[in-house]
């Protein structure tokens, strides 16, 4: 199946096919075969393959991935995965522990996970400014979504037990990504329709 996917990408641009192959490589080797069951940094390592779709989609149309906006989407897609998967790991703590998968909450505890989550959310806020070269509106949407997420994390952690906090973080991670990428799609369509 992966072969056909890479072949389909090759019909668009060689760069899209290369990025698809690179994403597959990172998923199979550094993540699945090496880090998933060996290191607490498995989420960070796996995030590279998980963040490839925006790059691949861009490269399929424009064979140049150096624009700050697409690099911003790629980095956001990497950073976004940490709070998202950490929240899953807190909620499924016992299952990860039983399976001997060294997720951050299992190895270092919820407090450390909370601190690391907030660090990633601060980075997410900073990355939002990469969109300024494409659209101030898009930058503001990304910035607002990330600031809200950090506020939810800080105040939610103080007022909720870890299970409820993790659930709220997980739900908001889905809202964040849906709104952000919907905004990118709407902005792109407006650019096509109005020749912006």
Neighbours of 77 (CB within 10 A): 20
* Structural domain boundaries, residue 21: 1-51
117 vs 112: CA distance, rounded Å: 8
Specify if 25 maps to a domain.
yes
Q: Which two tokens stand for residue 171?
A: 């739900």
Specify if 42 maps to a domain.
yes
149 vs 172: CA distance, rounded Å: 7
Q: Which two tokens stand for residue 165?
A: 């906090």
**Model pTM?**
0.91
**103 in the same domain as 190:** yes
Predicted pLDDT at 111: 95
Query: For the chain, what is the domain count?
Result: 2
**170 in the same domain as 136:** yes
CA 92 to chain centre: 20
Per-residue model confidence as pLDDT tens for the chain (196 residues): 688 889 999 999 999 999 999 999 999 999 999 999 999 999 999 999 999 999 999 999 988 899 888 898 999 999 999 999 999 999 999 999 999 999 999 999 999 999 999 999 999 999 999 888 878 999 999 999 999 999 999 999 999 899 999 999 999 999 999 999 999 989 888 876 766 5
Predicted pLDDT at 72: 87
């Amino acid at each position: 199946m992966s072969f056909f996917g890479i072949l389909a990408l090759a019909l668009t641009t060689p760069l899209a096919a290369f990025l698809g192959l690179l994403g597959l490589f990172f998923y199979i080797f550094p993540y699945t075969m090496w880090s998933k069951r060996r290191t607490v940094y498995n989420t960070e390592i796996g995030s590279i393959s998980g963040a490839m779709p925006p790059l691949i989609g861009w490269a399929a149309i424009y064979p140049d991935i150096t624009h700050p906006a697409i690099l911003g989407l790629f980095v956001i897609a990497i950073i976004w995965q940490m709070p998202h998967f950490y929240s899953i790991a807190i909620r499924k703590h016992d299952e990860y522990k039983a399976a001997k998968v060294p997720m951050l909450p299992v190895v270092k505890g919820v407090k450390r996970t909370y601190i690391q989550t907030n660090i990633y959310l601060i980075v997410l806020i900073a990355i939002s400014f990469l969109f300024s070269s494409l659209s101030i509106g898009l930058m503001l949407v990304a910035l607002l979504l990330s600031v809200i997420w950090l506020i939810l994390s800080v105040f939610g952690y103080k007022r909720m037990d870890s299970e409820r906090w993790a659930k709220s973080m997980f739900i908001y991670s889905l809202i964040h990504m849906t709104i952000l990428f919907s905004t990118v799609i709407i902005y792109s369509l407006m650019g096509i329709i109005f020749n912006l």
